[in-house]
Amino acid sequence: MIPRKKIIAGNWKMNKTQAEARVLVEDLLRDIGRFDDAEIVLCPPFTALAAVSELLNTVSNIRLGAQNMHEAASGAYTGEISAAMLKELYVRYVIIGHSERRQYFHEDNATVNRKTKAALAAELRPIVCIGETLPEREANKWKNVLQTQLIEGFAGFGEKELADIIIAYEPVWAIGTGKTASPAQAEEAHQFIRKIVGDKFGATAAEKIRIQYGGSVKPENAKELLSKPDIDGALVGGASLDSRGFTAIIKNACSE
């Protein structure tokens, strides 16, 4: 069994000005700047990336991620940001296909596929989000939904591509709602995702791939969720906006 290092990412969404971001990052650097039992990633809004990058570039184990990118290298795409623009700021990870992008910006599995391909080509590590809605869970269709998202989102990929991808399982009904999937529900979904990856990309890909859980992760529930064998980290929204909460999630859930 290949050990998988836990990966905790903070998705700040449309929160934090540059000035606010600096305050938060300075606190995080003090509290977890040298933490090494997990990979830690911060995903600020585009406008705060440069400021956060400058602070992280000192001596820290905290890495930088973006919340989105466009698949084209450059061109007439008003309002969009390319992989090269992110790379210049020392961004290493990029969230792709977050449910809010799917819901409000009409991104579908084909978009996710193109963006993931472009991110990999630029040597960014994609954090690809999948997850079912409440009606899909209630109709017991969640397995079909996850399977389709994986097959279409990773169409044309092989074991090599999978090695650089992180999957985030985020049941839409648990995002920002305070409703968390129970650790057993989350583990069941993660096991299913790993099985699909295994069927399609082979046993090694399935064993290596890290699958984060996201959806109302808090200091109180992180430890139990992350103690499950197939839960390899967390994608944290609301609770990552406060240094004490985010630090507690990381220390509670990842200290060896």
- Interaction between residue 11 and ligand PGA (CB under 6 A): yes
* Cα 65 to Cα 11: distance, rounded to the nearest angstrom: 9
- Interaction between residue 10 and ligand PGA (CB under 6 A): no
Question: What is the rounded end-to-end Cα distance, in angstroms, of the chain?
Answer: 18
Interface region with ligand PGA, contact rule CB under 6 A, candidates 119-127, 158-166, 224-232, 233-241: 233-241
Cβ count within 10 A of residue 104: 9
Contacts of 171 (CB under 8 A, 6+ apart): 131, 132, 137, 142, 181, 189, 215
Cβ at position 173, least distance to ligand PGA in Å: 10
The residue among 175 and 206 lying less far from ligand PGA, judged by its C-beta, is 175
**Catalytic residue (one of 98, 100, 187, 190):** 98
**Helix, strand, coil shares of the chain as percentages rounded to 5?**
50, 15, 35
* Cα 88 to Cα 40: distance, rounded to the nearest angstrom: 20
Tokens of 22: 């600096």
- Please list every residue from 154 through 193 that binds ligand PGA, using CB under 6 A: 170, 175-176
The residue among 206 and 239 lying less far from ligand PGA, judged by its C-beta, is 239
**Residues 193-222 vs ligand PGA: string with x where CB under 6 A?**
---------------------xxxx-----
Active-site residue 70, yes or no? no
DSSP state of 126: E
Distances (CA, A) of 237 to 21, 40, 85, 102: 15, 14, 24, 16
- Interaction between residue 231 and ligand PGA (CB under 6 A): no
- Comparing every residue's Cβ against ligand PGA, the nearest one is 237
Cβ at position 67, least distance to ligand PGA in Å: 9
- Interaction between residue 33 and ligand PGA (CB under 6 A): no
Tokens of 5: 């290092």
The residue among 33 and 65 lying less far from ligand PGA, judged by its C-beta, is 65
**Catalytic residue (one of 39, 71, 107, 170):** 170
Residue with structure tokens 């390899």? 232
Query: So which residues are the catalytic ones?
Result: 98, 170
Residues making contact with ligand PGA (CB under 6 A): 11, 170, 175-176, 214-217, 235-239
